[in-house]
C-alpha cells in the first residue's frame, strides 16, 4: 500500500507534483516542530532525517493520540512544556510535592496520561491532603477511562470545595458520573454548574443529557445559549472552546434552533 502511494506520487507531473511535495514538506516541518515542542527529541531527528512518511506515522501515534485524550478538558493554570526540564531538576534536588504536581499538569496537557498519573501520585505521597493534586489525579483517571477510580477523588474534592478549579472539578465529577451511567446525578451537577457559569463544556453535556431524557426543548435552550454566546466571545475564548462549539452545532442539527 505504501509502495503504491509512493509510486503514484512519483508519477505526478508538473504543478501537481510541485504542489504535492510542497504540502508534504510543510507537513513534515510541522510535525518536526511539534516533536521539538513536546521534547520528543528522537522523533524530531527521525522526522527531520526521514521522508514525509515518518511524519505521518508520528501524526497518528504521537500527535493525534496525545492531543485527543485531553482535547476540550484543559486544566486551569497548567504550565508550559518548556518547564519540564526545570521541574525535573527541582524534583531531583528538592523533591517537593508541588513540583511533582506541576509536572503532572504538563504531562496531562500533552496527553501523556500515564506519566501524569505517576507524577500526581508522587505528589500525593509527599502531601496526601493537597486538594489540587487529588482533583487533577481524578481528572487524569477519568481521561484514562477509569471513572470508577476517579469518582471518590472528585467527590471528596467537590464536597470540600464545590467551586474548586473554577468548577472544573465539578464538571469532571459530572462526566465521571455520566461514564458510570449515573445520569440523573450527573444531570443535577450540570444544572448546578450552569447556574453560575456559562461554560460550553457544561452546557453541551447538559443539553446531551436533556436530549437523552427526551427533553428536546430544554436541550434546544442550552444549545441556543452556547451558539449565541460564541458569536460575541473574544478570539482566545472561541479557540479554547471550539471543541465544544462543534458539538453544540451537531446538537443543533438534532434539536433545531
Q: What is the chain's mean pLDDT, rounded?
A: 86
**Mean pLDDT in residue range 79-100:** 86
pLDDT of 69 over the 60 cut: no
Comparing 173 with 50, the larger pLDDT belongs to 173
| pTM (2 d.p.) | 0.73
The yes-or-no verdict on residue 53 having pLDDT over 90 is no
pLDDT tens sequence across 197-240: 999 999 999 999 999 999 999 999 999 999 999 999 998 899 88
Kindly state the average pLDDT of the residues 149-162: 98
Q: What is the pLDDT of residue 155?
A: 98
Instruction: Give per-residue pLDDT as tens, 105-126.
Output: 999 988 899 999 999 999 999 9
In the chain, % of residues over pLDDT 90: 62
pLDDT value, residue 17: 67
The secondary structure of the chain, three-state, reads CHHHHHHHHHCCCHHHHHHHHHHHHHHHHHHHHHHHHHCCHHHHHHHHHCCHHHHHHHHHHHHHHHHHHHCCCCCCCCCCHHHHHHHHHHHHHCCCHHHHHHHHHHHHHHCCHHHHHHHHHHHHHHCCCCHHHHHHHHHHHHHCCCHHHHHHHHHHHHHHCCCHHHHHHHHHHHHHHHHCCCHHHHHHHHHHHHHHCCCHHHHHHHHHHHHHCCCHHHHHHHHHHHHHHHHCCCHHHHHHHHHHHHHHHHHHHHHCC
Judge whether residue 3 has pLDDT over 50.
no
Residue 243 has pLDDT above 70, yes or no: yes
DSSP state of 162: T
Amino acid at each position: 500500500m505504501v509502495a503504491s502511494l509512493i509510486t503514484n506520487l512519483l508519477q505526478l507531473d508538473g504543478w501537481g507534483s510541485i504542489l504535492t511535495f510542497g504540502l508534504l514538506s510543510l507537513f513534515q516541518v510541522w510535525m518536526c516542530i511539534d516533536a521539538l515542542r513536546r521534547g520528543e527529541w528522537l522523533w524530531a531527528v527521525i522526522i527531520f532525517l526521514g521522508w514525509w512518511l515518518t511524519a505521518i506515522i508520528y501524526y497518528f501515534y504521537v500527535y493525534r493520540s496525545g492531543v485527543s485524550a485531553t482535547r476540550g478538558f484543559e486544566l486551569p493554570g497548567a504550565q508550559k512544556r518548556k518547564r519540564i526540564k526545570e521541574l525535573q531538576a527541582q524534583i531531583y534536588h528538592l523533591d517537593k510535592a508541588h513540583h511533582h504536581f506541576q509536572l503532572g499538569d504538563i504531562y496531562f496537557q500533552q496527553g501523556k496520561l500515564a506519566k501524569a498519573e505517576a507524577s500526581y501520585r508522587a505528589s500525593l505521597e509527599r502531601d496526601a491532603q493537597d486538594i489540587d493534586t487529588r482533583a487533577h489525579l481524578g481528572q487524569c483517571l477519568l481521561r484514562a477511562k477509569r471513572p470508577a477510580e476517579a469518582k471518590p477523588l472528585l467527590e471528596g474534592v467537590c464536597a470540600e470545595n464545590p467551586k474548586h478549579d473554577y468548577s472544573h472539578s465539578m464538571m469532571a465529577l459530572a462526566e465521571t458520573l455520566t461514564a458510570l451511567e449515573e445520569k440523573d446525578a450527573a444531570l443535577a451537577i450540570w444544572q448546578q454548574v450552569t447556574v453560575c457559569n456559562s461554560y460550553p463544556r457544561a452546557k453541551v453535556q447538559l443539553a446531551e443529557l436533556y436530549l437523552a431524557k427526551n427533553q428536546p426543548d430544554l436541550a434546544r435552550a442550552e444549545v441556543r445559549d452556547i451558539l449565541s454566546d460564541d458569536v460575541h466571545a473574544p478570539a482566545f475564548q472561541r479557540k479554547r472552546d471550539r471543541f465544544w462549539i462543534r458539538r453544540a452545532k451537531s446538537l443543533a442539527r438534532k434539536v433545531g434552533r
